Amino acid sequence: MSSPAAAAALASTVTSAAALGFVPVAVRFQLFNILADLDRPVSGQDVLTALQDRTNNKPRQDVPCLLLIQDTLYAMSGLGFVDFAGENLYRANAITKHLAATPAAQHGAVHFTTEALLAGAFLMRKLEAENFQYPFKERETPFQLAYKLMGHEELAKEHTYSIMATEGRMDSFNHFMVGKFMKTNTAPDRLQALGYDLESVLNNAQPSTPLTMVDIGGGRGEMLLDFKAAFPQLQTSDLIVQEFNHDITDIPGVTLATWNYKDESPQPIKGALIYHLAHLLHNLSDLEALRLLKKISEAMAPHSRLLIHEFAKNVNYAKMHAAMITFSPERVWGLEDILYGTAYAFDIAHMVFIQRSFENGLGRHMWFLSDAERNLALKNEFISQPLAVTASMLSRSGMMCFLYTCFSSVDKQIRLSIIICMAIQVVVNSVTAVQIIVQCGPNPYHASNRVSYFHYMWDNPPADSSVVCQSPAVQTTIGFVQGGFNTTIDFFLTALSAVQLWRYTIRATDSAPAQDKPLFSRIRRMPRQALFRRIWQTVSLSGPLLLSGIASIVKTYLLKTLGERNDITHNTVPFILWVKIENYSILLATFAPMIRLFVSMVSTDKGQSGGYWSNSRSKNSHPGLELDSQPHTQKKGAVVMSVSAAEEAVQNTDDDWKRASSRAHHRHRSSDLQDGSSGVTVRTEIVVRVSSDKASTERLVI
């Protein structure tokens, strides 16, 4: 049912867009400052006169006309930024005075009414242009489309912040990031309010432990300066801001370091006491956020901690979330995704030709087939062979790209090994596929298009011997070489993925030196849930790769059937079977990163709330992320996640963790948040165990 109040609210909201376009005008000509200084009802002419007086009688090239001042003030009154005090009269209100007293808020207002407003205007056009593909890809957001349609083709290829830098907007944006829209409590006070005792962390640090704090993407260092003011023991050398911003060249009171976390370089500062990520992850895609967290985790020492400062998702930040969508992608598709998709396409094509060959006699003895059936069966079978080889090559390449992304920053030798394996298998499999197609040619030999002779693999060659095909032994030999390389690479990838998965887990859950305890003893010390989760992850990722290697061995052994042309339609069936097992194993391994999401969704649909790879038969609810004794819901303003490794080996048993989880569960159930819809459920592969003093976490379980 319609109502005048609803209509008025609707009109007031949707007509704000054009009025917001006048905000940069108001900031440019200091209208908020002038109204706050005058602090009485004034006309547009009064404001213009005050603006001219502020120039100290120096001529200004950009002095606006009276009508622009009047319309801008009128628009600001519609937005509620100033009060409408009568016909052509305006007066400062609380928002006006806040803007005047907080320069950072004015810079923020310009940012959202310039870049965000422009991007929002092209959101629907972007969706329509790409048939509503969503989320957006990196550097292909509505903001880039706006610049493309305005004729700035080069800028349209850049990231949002690169475009802002070219437009001279980064200095204003940096000032906004320093103070935001308001001056809140200091960083130490915010942490204390959330139950994180930073003072205890600093005071309890071992004498050999550095007090280094690293603020990644920390802008002009305002957060670290808050820490320096609160804790006198922190020196300038202890407080490091990592930035990749040419507009920031020096920050008095802290140390400025340059690091571009988006490139391949690892975190250069090792073993800091605390790493901070303050309002940074929301600007990154899922993949980039994971890469950054991985780089930080590899730089952390047993005493290190990671504090993530972000706003919880709530209705008050819905508009901010929409602005981030128009600037940044939610998920970045990598090269491995393209390779996976292409491999699936080739594999489906291979299946189509095998099915057609089967319909014409594949699997039956040749002497039971007519000439037409024999010809069609062989034709489809031979055409399918290079498709199978190509599918195998692409899926292996995609898997190696995925492993390179996961483990490239761990060790230079690992990175180089993956690249070498990828290059070898591409060359070997490409040669094999080409050899299958060009093994027939003219006799005597002369330069020609040998692809046009491929059909003689199933058609009878001319009686005059003008066409000759290679001996089946040649293809068998090449197949043996290809199979040997593929088998070796599959086993290498199996070992690499398994070793690295367990290496991360053991290092995260047991901080004791590796030489102090044997491997199996360290594995037994892992929490049971983490142990089961890692076992399933190893099976889902390394298991298919191991099966692929085994299938490659069997397939290579069966290559001899290709040389038995007298009954090839019958003898090649086992070979084709193991080719499919090999290809499907690799393609199944590509699903490993997504299987946990599928299992989680199925678990959620059944009403279970266990974490990824947890015991699915359990009906208990174990929170995967404990922040402090207070439940964090949508009503909370900010969430600070503390991640650390223990300074000493933790002696708690698995039963202790179960009791702790049970207590946390009962606290949540007894709170006033009985309606689960009002809270935020965090699903994560990182399980954080919080110690009783809430000053630090005791274990990080990946």
In tens, the pLDDT along 257-308 reads: 888 877 778 888 888 888 988 877 776 777 778 888 888 888 888 888 888 8
Enter the DSSP assignment of 307: E
296: tokens are 């930080």
Helix (H, G, I), strand (E, B) or coil at 663: helix
What pLDDT score was predicted for residue 656? 41
Residue-wise pLDDT for 655-684, tens only, equals: 443 443 343 344 333 333 333 333 333 333
Q: Which residue has the tokens 């213009």?
A: 48
Tell me the Ramachandran region of residue 297: left when phi exceeds 0, alpha when psi lies from -120 to 50, beta otherwise: alpha
Distance between CA 589 and CA 585 in Å, rounded?
A: 6
Q: Is the pLDDT of residue 629 over 50?
A: no
Q: Which residue has the tokens 């404990």?
A: 626
What pLDDT score was predicted for residue 631? 35
Residue-wise pLDDT for 190-216, tens only, equals: 888 778 888 888 888 888 888 889 998
Q: What percent of the chain has pLDDT over 90?
A: 8
Residues with a catalytic annotation lie at: 282
Helix (H, G, I), strand (E, B) or coil at 469: strand
Q: Tell me the β-bridge partners of 329.
A: none
Distance between CA 215 and CA 193 in Å, rounded?
A: 20
Determine which of 28-42, 128-142, 256-270, 596-610 has the lowest per-residue pLDDT on average: 596-610
Sheet containing strand 42-43, edge to edge, reads 42-43, 89-91, 83-86
What pLDDT score was predicted for residue 10? 83
Distance between CA 182 and CA 405 in Å, rounded?
A: 39
CB 411 within 8 A of CB 385: no
What pLDDT score was predicted for residue 471? 81
Residue-wise pLDDT for 418-452, tens only, equals: 889 999 999 999 999 998 898 898 988 888 888 98
Question: Which amino acid is present at 264?
Answer: E
Residue 342's φ and ψ, nearest 5 degrees, are -65, -40
Distance between CA 577 and CA 575 in Å, rounded?
A: 5
Go through 303-319 and write b for each residue having 16 or more CB atoms within 10 A of its CB, e for each that does not.
bbbbbbbeebeeeebee
Asked if the 184-332+609-668+678-702 domain carries CATH number 3.30.56.10, the reply is no
Distance between CA 497 and CA 95 in Å, rounded?
A: 56
Residue-wise pLDDT for 310-344, tens only, equals: 776 666 666 666 666 555 554 455 677 788 888 88
Give the DSSP per-residue string, 669-681: HHSS---GGGB--
Residue-wise pLDDT for 400-422, tens only, equals: 888 887 666 556 788 888 889 99
**What residues does each domain of the chain span?**
17-176, 184-332+609-668+678-702, 335-592
Q: Is the pLDDT of residue 83 over 90?
A: yes
CB 188 within 8 A of CB 227: yes
What pLDDT score was predicted for residue 556? 83
Tell me the Ramachandran region of residue 683: left when phi exceeds 0, alpha when psi lies from -120 to 50, beta otherwise: beta
Q: Which long-range contacts (CB under 8 A, 24 or more apart) does 341-348 make?
A: 342/394, 343/390, 343/391, 343/392, 343/394, 343/395, 343/398, 343/586, 343/587, 344/391, 344/587, 346/387, 346/388, 346/390, 346/391, 346/394, 347/387, 347/388, 347/391, 347/395, 347/583, 347/584, 347/587
649: tokens are 């080996």
CB 648 within 8 A of CB 698: no
404: tokens are 């390179």
Distances (CA, A) of 427 to 96, 100, 160, 421: 67, 65, 39, 10
